[in-house]
Chains A and B, each alone.
Chain A
Amino acid sequence: EADIYQTPRYLVIGTGKKITLECSQTMGHDKMYWYQQDPGMELHLIHYSYGVNSTEKGDLSSESTVSRIRTEHFPLTLESARPSHTSQYLCASREHGQGNTEAFFGQGTRLTVV
């Protein structure tokens, strides 16, 4: 079983609220990722990190921000939630490698902004 956890699993929040989605892993992985999964199932990379104090934007533009102050923790923040942010958010981590290591995923946070 993967040791990567996301909280909360489900969140319903009003427009304009600030929210933080939590992601933690206990495997000591350097690389962590955030994906947004739309209702049609497609996964879009929105942020990634190669280690502490390293963050990069992914292929899909997102109004969210991330931080990586500790190896095990990679939270995602939305300063002002909007209905267009309604989606499933998946966090993943993997060992450093030449692109050939397994990625482990959390169970996801399903966010609904009303």
Chain B
Amino acid sequence: GNSVTQMEGPVTLSEEAFLTINCTYTATGYPSLFWYVQYPGEGLQLLLKATKADDKGSNKGFEATYRKETTSFHLEKGSVQVSDSAVYFCALSDWSDKLIFGTGTRLQVFP
């Protein structure tokens, strides 16, 4: 079945550091890929998405590129802020519309 694997956290960074959170997936066919973010005490909200190979999703300085050859969708940001501290989830969805999440990675950014 479909699955998503993402790096364990927590990831601890200083403000303005470069961020990478790794995500790989297993799926048949051509799934859509997503990154969601969850701030403390809140539900999840979409950060970015990519729906086909080589697409790059971007939002709020975050980027991720759909790499079919490596089945990856790594999240990057060039300069993190304290306000980026949250839990980040990689997810995939195929034609059946079931949305499958990775285990989440907690990011802590210190001033």
Q: Which A residues contact B (CB, under 8 angstroms)?
A: 2, 6, 31, 33, 35, 40-43, 45, 48, 50, 58-59, 90, 92, 94, 96-100, 102-103, 105-108
CB-CB under 8 A from B1, the residues of chain A are 59
Residue interface bits B26-59, CB-to-A below 8 A is 1, else 0: 0000011010101001111110010100000000
Residue interface bits B74-111, CB-to-A below 8 A is 1, else 0: 00000000000001010001111111110110100000
Q: Name the one of A2, A41, A42, A99 contacting B31, with C-beta atoms under 8 angstroms.
A: A99
Other A-B pairs beyond A43-B89, A103-B34, A105-B43, 16, CB < 8 Å: A6-B43, A41-B38, A41-B103, A42-B104, A43-B44, A43-B101, A45-B98, A94-B99, A99-B96, A100-B32, A102-B49, A103-B36, A105-B44, A105-B45, A107-B41, A108-B42
Provide the bound-state CA to CA distance between A3 and B111, in Å.
34
